[in-house]
Amino acid sequence: MQRIEWTPEMSVGIDIIDEDHRRLIVLLNDYIDAVDADEGVFVFDSLFCEFFDYTGYHFAREEEMMAKAGYPDLEEHRRGHQTIIEQLEGMRRKVMLSVSAGMQDEVRAFLLDWLWVHIMIKDQAYAASLQDHFSKAA
Ligand SMILES: [Fe+2]
């Protein structure tokens, strides 16, 4: 089944953010592998929660860095992050209640789509601005 793989084009040019994104990719692939192996709802939920928790941790890091850099679109990113957290909470309910493979497929498709858009589009928007700030600060 479809997974997501890290590619150099995903880099935002800031090591700690790239490391977070790589970690999110690993955690999402772990969940996908568990679904493929039909490991059961408790394993799905445990892996989903690891992904969810790390997403919250990563968002907090991004917001803190954007604030330090004085990034002007911080509020828009913060709202986007909040929307995703709410959507992921809804997805967790689906993970727990699902008895069909189709439901896990829906969750997987959502997560793959979201993470790709987050890394390749949303975060590229702040990349230059944060690189500029943190390279000067270093
Ligand atoms: Fe990110």
Q: How confident is the model at residue 88, as a pLDDT?
A: 95
In this prediction, residue 94 carries a pLDDT of 85
Superfamily for 14-137?
Hemerythrin-like (1.20.120.50)
| Cα distances (Å, whole numbers) of residue 21 to 27, 99, 124 | 10, 30, 12
pLDDT at 114: 95
Between the CA of 91 and the centroid of ligand 1 the distance, in Å, is 19
Give the pLDDT confidence score for residue 29 in this predicted structure. Answer: 97
The predicted structure's pLDDT at residue 138:
56
CA of 36 to the centre of ligand 1 (A): 26
Taking alpha carbons only, the member of 49, 43, 138, 35 closest to residue 89 is 49
Residue boundaries of the structural domains of the chain: 14-137
What's the confidence (pLDDT) of residue 134? 86
Distance 9 CA to ligand 1 centre (A): 14
What are the distances in angstroms from CA 68 to CA 14, 63, 64, 65, 86? 14, 9, 6, 5, 25
Along the chain (138 residues), what's the average pLDDT of each consecutive run of 10 residues? 92 96 98 91 93 98 96 96 96 80 84 95 94 79
Calpha distance 1→87 (Å, rounded): 23
For residue 94, the CA-to-ligand 1 centroid distance in Å is 24
pLDDT of residue 64: 97
Distance 115 CA to ligand 1 centre (A): 8
Q: At which residue do the structure tokens 């089944």 appear?
A: 1
Q: How long is the chain?
A: 138
pLDDT at 101: 64
Q: What is the pLDDT of residue 103?
A: 78
Res 7: pLDDT:
96
Distance 123 CA to ligand 1 centre (A): 6
